[in-house]
Amino acid sequence: MSLIKAGTLALLIPLSAAAPAFAQATDAQGPTRMIFSELDTDGNGAVTLEELQAVGSNRFSDADTDGSGALSRAELLAQSQERAETRVDRLLERADADGNGELTAEELETAREEGRRGGRGHGRGHGARGEHRGPGVERFFERMDADNNGSVSEAEFNEAIANMVERMGRRHGGRGN
């Protein structure tokens, strides 16, 4: 797999996995702010193509804790565990109605119902069989850079994510309006 494909996947997989949470975000403090801040590595409020292209290698470097240039089973498991913990924390934040740090069956069902009404779609498996491939990093960046100034502002990023969520909702039987 080429470095560009790996970088594209490193960006698009977390974005598509987080799309259900984006669908529920109603302000800039939601999940899109967290993802945007991870991409905006210099913290200047805009994401450049270079920052976007560096996502894959940055994630690899972060996971390669021993600096060997390869990911061991332990490093892969640690990275997977960290992602799982992040997903659980987001779920608790979104679904724990009484704020006690635990989810009841009712809270989980309510979260599922809200997700269905929000047109989140299924998400899982999309693209796994190769039926849909995302754009290259450059094309993805160009789509997000609405004003063509060479960087993506947080507002442009949020708009691009909202458009992606809407398209995903339409593809998976959601409302998408």
Domain boundaries, the chain: 3-171
pLDDT value for 104: 94
Helix 73-95 vs helix 55-63: angle between axes, to the nearest 10 degrees? 110
pTM of the model: 0.43
* 138 token code pair: 């450059």
| Alpha carbon distance 133, 103 (integer Å) | 35
**How confident is residue 166, by pLDDT bands cut at 50, 70 and 90?**
confident
Higher per-residue pLDDT: 9 or 165: 165
**Residues near 143 by beta carbon (within 8 Å), at least 6 away in sequence:** 135, 160
Higher per-residue pLDDT: 109 or 118: 109
Asked if pLDDT for residue 174 goes beyond 70, the answer is no
pLDDT value for 167: 83
**How confident is residue 153, by pLDDT bands cut at 50, 70 and 90?**
very high
Are 60 and 71 contacting, i.e. CB atoms less than 8 angstroms apart?
A: yes
What pLDDT digit, counting tens, does each position of 30-54 carry?
Answer: 555 657 888 888 989 998 989 888 8
